[in-house]
Amino acid sequence: MRRRLDGGAQDAEVPALPAPEPAQPASLQLPADVEARSPEQILGLLLEAFPGRVALACSFQKEETVLLDMLFALEPKARVFAIDTHYLFPETYAYWHEVEKRYGTTIEVFEGPTPEQLAAAHGERVWEQKPDLYLAVAKVAPLVRALGELDAWITGIRRDQSPTRAGAPKLGWDDQHELWKANPLADWSDADCWAAIRERELPTNPLHDQGYDSIGDTHSTQPGAGRTGRWAGTGKVECGIHTVPAAEVADLVEEPS
């Protein structure tokens, strides 16, 4: 149902290769009033500037519930992708299918290694022994593949979710992944999200009703307010998707187990 995206003469001196050119931003005139624009206006701007080259990164939480509805109202054929770690909650997979049915879409899938592949390469329960390695392999590497064919991506980041997100702009150049990144709900609160969900009568991930404010993998997510339930007891507040530069992923992934 889902589309899956798989000693003698001295040697002659070899001239040094030229340094690679820095990535050039895809064409976009950033409006001076971008921070005053509504989420729908931010989405409309991206859809117009990058037709077929912009996508929503969907983790099936309340923020994406709102953004999905806004995005498909503007462009019924809009692109959405998800990262499947193979450790998502059953409720998340069920909601995933519900989203596809509701909007008549097929969410693009970028997968991490299967549990068997992960254990064979890095050992059992690697997320406990080397959480950064797990996140690089299961989340960040698939993200890099997803973003490779895009000029812009859309996320559900909000500034009040954690101190690491407090300075998130509504729209700006993403130096870590070298493309444009939009956070249309950056200045929204939790209450704003739920108000929009009620107003639009939208279905949500049922885990929210079980006390999960933030939802990730089964092995590292607990009920809790904000992001306190994510990687509880480890001091981690981010999974690397928004913090690890693409250039660092290969080194992390190739680290010996």
Active centre residues (catalytic) = 239
Q: How far apart are the first and last CA of the chain?
A: 34
Chain position carrying tokens 């690089």? 136
How far from 35 is each of 14, 41, 75, 159, 182, CA to CA, in Å?
Answer: 50, 11, 22, 13, 11
Helices first, then strands: H and E counts in the chain = 9, 6
Starting at the edge strand that comes first in sequence, how are the strands of the sheet with 54-57 ordered? Answer: 108-111, 79-84, 54-57, 152-154, 179-182, 171-174
Q: Phi and psi of 157, rounded to 5°?
A: -60, 135
Strand 171-174 to strand 152-154: parallel, antiparallel, or no bridges (unpaired)? unpaired
Residues 6+ positions from 108 with CB-CB distance below 8 Å: 3, 5, 55, 79, 80, 81, 82, 146
